Structure 1
Amino acid sequence: MHTTVGIIGGGPAGLLLARLLHRAGVDSVVLESRGRSYVEQRQRAGILEQGTVDILRAAGAGERMGREGMPHDGIELRFDGRAHRLDFPALTGGRRVMVYAQTEVVKDLVELQLADGGPLLFEAEVTAVTGADTGRPTVTYRHEGREQTLTCDYVVGCDGFHGVTRLAVPEPVRTTYERTYPYSWLGILADARPVHDELVYAHHDRGFALASMRSPTVSRLYLQVPNGTDPADWSDTRIWDELDTRLGTGTGRKLERGAVTAKSVLPMRSWVTEPMRYGRVFLAGDAAHIVPPTGAKGLNLAVADVARLAAAFTQLHTTGSDALLDAYSDAALRRVWRAEHFSYFMTTTLHTDPEQSPFLTRLQLSQLDRIASSPHAAAELAANYAGLPFEE
């Protein structure tokens, strides 16, 4: 089998790229190592930037999002016994975010791909990508019990941190930057009404907490916990009690409690590999960069990557120019590092390091107070959270 663009990974990045290429008349094949049910059920991000919403709509994948997604015009910061709301449209000239789970984005894109897109092969485990520096790279994969090959004009790796595409970039060429944080998130899904109409980010001396949602009746909640925490060590009652303490911020308000349907621990890390292109192989999303989830940038960065790639392949298809392909890595990395810095800022401002001194805590509170009192500081946070315009 041969295709113009071989896409490794059938998550939101790979599926969206395939959709955008299909609409531009560029053929592609998507190879996904997992089964369809697993891909459509794995819990990931839930906050979509304004630009991500716009791209999904332009790709024809916005109908159900428009019906079921929950537009949010801000977030609430809770710290030092008080609460402060950031009004995104007022601070950004009208930009906002959408709460619509990654699982639902994937379901929408899978349905579109199977209905009228190119081949999408589930349970197709890619074992190698070779010939990146030739005119026809080859993807070797196992599907339906036998080894097969896919030759491509170009390969795009959307296969995440543990994928094989990144290995097609020779080690002497690759540079990796990484930071591991001294805490993790204990996350739950619960059949309970959300704490607030918008997301709540809480700084507390016992650790960070976040109240999010998946629907008007399903809450997504997080607690900062030590690295190595076993979710089984946290009973449901203990989790709810701790959430009440950290999110209440002295108000005495209690959360509505409901059945906990999922529980997991998420390590926190920042990671970038450069370059995001070698020869005819390109990296996108978690195959090239990871951010801590505090800034809600992971999925949105992946969407920005593949939107940029789709524009580059469309230019090549329609004009024969590879100028945008050549510019891809440098242009994408500018946005990646901006998002990495914002995610680092949100993480280190809101979390309590196990070794943290009272001095550093006072600096955190001072920074949060500045955001609450300075329109300039608030606008900077809001602009990064809602998403910088794609051109930047």
Structure 2
Amino acid sequence: MRTQVLIVGSGPSGLLLGQLLAGIGIDNVILERVDRDHLLSRVRAGVLEQGTVELLDEAGAGERMHAEGLPHDGFAVAFDNRLHRIDLHALTGKRVMVYGQTEMTRDLVEKREQAGLTPVFEAANVALHDISSNPFVTYEKDGQSHRIDCDFIAGCDGYHGVSRKSVPDGALQSFERVYPFGWLGVLAEVPPASHELIYANHERGFALCSMRSMTRSRYYIQCPIDEKVEDWSDDRFWDELRRRLPEASAAAVTTGPSFEKSIAPLRSFVAEPMQFGKLSLVGDAAHIVPPTGAKGLNLAASDVRYLFSGLREFYADGSMAGMDAYSGRALARVWKAVRFSWWMTTMLHRFPEGGAFGQRIQEAELDYLVHSRAASTALAENYVGLPY
């Protein structure tokens, strides 16, 4: 079998790229190691930059997002038992959209299925070959071996996927920062504490009040990296969350049984370049950011935007200029988002080694942030998404 673009991984970036390519007549096949139900059960991020929203519209998959998503014009930073609102729209003219990654994935899968382009689910032992010149991919499905030859491979299979591991040793340079804490998160079918997100800095640690809809809430608290999720009952979580919020916000928290609870470690990671031969790395396959700045999914979407542009140029004009520029263009935006996510994380979390000096620096930073229009604007510009 042969296709023009082989996409490894059917997360949002792989599906979005596939849908954009199909829309302009570029053949592509998506391989996914898990089954459809498992793919659509993953609980992930839910704050979309305006650019991501526009890409979903371009892919023809934005209808339900606009009907059910929650446009947000701002968010609050909580410290000193007070809320301080960052008015994103007033500062930048832009807003963000709260729409769960699971829902975005479902929309893209259904669009692909309607076009008769269903991903190859449960593709086992995927292997990339000859990625420097004449690429092909092998995999197993239902006990049979398969081979697909292609012009290009898009590695959209995440941090632990096969794509980055297929690059020869020494061809990539990695940069990493592992943070000394994690996020304990819960999902519950309860109305959110606020109509906008609340990012809280507290002496007991960071907290975030978020939502997936007006009836489904997503909450997080900072916890030691060695915590065990089974040690956290729902009651213990709700009590700790409310301790870290201003009194009025804590009183607005509606508690209830959680239906998902997990602890996520935080890290910053970048592998560069994001391209080797005919293989391009996309999203988490090339970079990870802590979720504090809501950048992970949006960075994957911006990678897709750059890669799609390069592929479109190649198949329309035969020019490799856009493909050759992919890594440099993507990394320029990636590193700015890595910086922003690191800054948000260091400003809002309590670090074990920070001590009294670190606490005073955080307090000064937060005070300057909310009382300086220039500082608030810099935060808002990064949060809604820097230009492509």
TM category (shorter chain) comes to over 0.9
Change (3 A) 1:133 1:212: same
- The reply on whether 1:322 has 2:320 as its aligned counterpart is yes
Q: Which runs of 5 or more residues in structure 1 are unaligned?
A: none
Determine the structure 2 residue equivalent to 1:201. 199
Contact 1:13 1:158 in 2 (8 A): yes
What is residue 242 of structure 1 aligned with on the other side? 240
Partner of 1:9: 9
Deviation of 1:249 after TM superposition, in Å, equals 5.3
2:194–2:249 contact (8 Å) kept in structure 1: no
The residue aligned with 2:88 is 88
Aligned 8 A contact 1:80 1:249 in 2: no
Aligned residue identity for 2:183: W
DSSP 3-state at the match of 2:159: coil
Please, what TM-score do these two structures have when normalized by structure 2?
Answer: 0.98
> Given the two structures, how large is their TM-score scaled by the length of structure 1?
0.97
Alignment of 1:206-221 (within 5 A): 206-221=204-219
Matched with 1:65 is: 65
> Which residue of the partner structure matches residue 118 of structure 1?
117
Q: How far apart, in 1, do the equivalents of 2:269 and 2:51 lie?
A: 23
Provide the aligned C-alpha RMSD in A.
1.1
Q: Match of 1:388?
A: 386
Partner deviation per Cα, 1:153-181 (whole Å, 9 max, x = no partner):
11010000111111222111110000100
Instruction: Find the counterpart in structure 2 of residue 233 from structure 1.
Output: 231
SS across alignment from 1:388: coil
Distance 1:250 1:366 in 2: 24
Q: Which moved more, 1:370-379 or 1:242-251?
A: 242-251
Q: Matched residues in 1 for 2:78 and 2:206: separation? A: 10
Contact 1:19 1:117 survives alignment (8 Å): no
| SS at structure 1 position matched to 2:212 | strand
Q: Distance in 2 between matches of 1:378 and 1:227?
A: 31
Counterpart amino acid of residue 138 in structure 2: T
Give the letter aligned to residue 139 of structure 2.
Y
Q: Does structure 2 retain, via aligned residues, the 8 Å contact 1:79–1:249?
A: no
Partner of 1:27: 27
In the TM superposition, what is the alpha-carbon distance from 1:259 to its structure 2 partner? 1.7
* Equivalent position SS for 2:205: coil
Structure 1 residue 331: Cα displacement? 0.6
Separation (CA, whole Å) in 2 of partners of 1:196 and 1:72: 11
Aligned to 1:292: 290
* SS class of match (1:172): coil
The aligned counterpart of 2:270 is 272
Does residue 1:306 correspond to 2:304, yes or no?
Answer: yes
* Contact kept in structure 2, 1:31 and 1:126, CA below 8 Å: no
Change (3 A) 1:171 1:142: same
Question: Aligned pairs, how many?
Answer: 388
Partner of 1:76: 76
Match of 2:98 in 1: 99
Note if contact 1:18-1:117 (Cα within 8 Å) is conserved in structure 2. Answer: no
Describe the superposition over 1:136-162 as per-residue Cα deviations: whole angstroms up to 9, x where unpaired.
Answer: 211111111222111111101000011
Post-superposition CA distance 1:47-94 (Å, at most 9, x none): 0001101110111111000100000001100012221001111111x1
Contact 1:312 1:324 in 2 (8 A): yes
Task: Report SS of the residue matched to 1:18.
Answer: helix
| Structure 2: tracts of 5 or more residues without a match | none
Instruction: Tell me which residue corresponds to 1:49.
Output: 49
Going from structure 1 to structure 2, the CA distance change for 1:377 and 1:265 (only over 3 Å counts) comes to same
Letter in 1 for 2:303: D
Q: Match of 1:255?
A: 253
Look up the match of 2:375.
Answer: 377
Pair 1:119–1:320, CA change in 2 (3 A): farther
Which 4+ residue blocks in structure 1 deviate beyond 3 angstroms?
249-252
Give SS of 1:197's match: coil
The Cα of 1:364 is off from its aligned counterpart by 0.6
Equivalent-residue separation in structure 2 for 1:36 and 1:252 (angstroms) = 38
Contact 1:31 1:125 in 2 (8 A): no
Q: Return the offset for 1:325.
A: 0.3
Secondary structure of the residue aligned to 1:265 is strand
C-alpha distance in 1 between matches for 2:153 and 2:248:
53
Cα deviation, 1:228-265, whole Å, max 9, x if unaligned, reads: 21111011111001111102258763511122111000
Distance in 2 between residues matched to 1:39 and 1:225, nearest whole Å: 27
Aligned to 1:52, the other structure's residue is in SS state: helix
CA contact (8 A) 2:79 2:246 kept: no
Q: In the alignment, residue 264 of structure 1 is paired with which amino acid?
A: S
- Tell me the percent identity: 51
Residue 195 to residue 254, structure 1, CA distance change in 2 (3 Å): closer
1:277-319 Cα shifts (integer Å, max 9, x gaps): 1110110000000000000000000000011111111111111
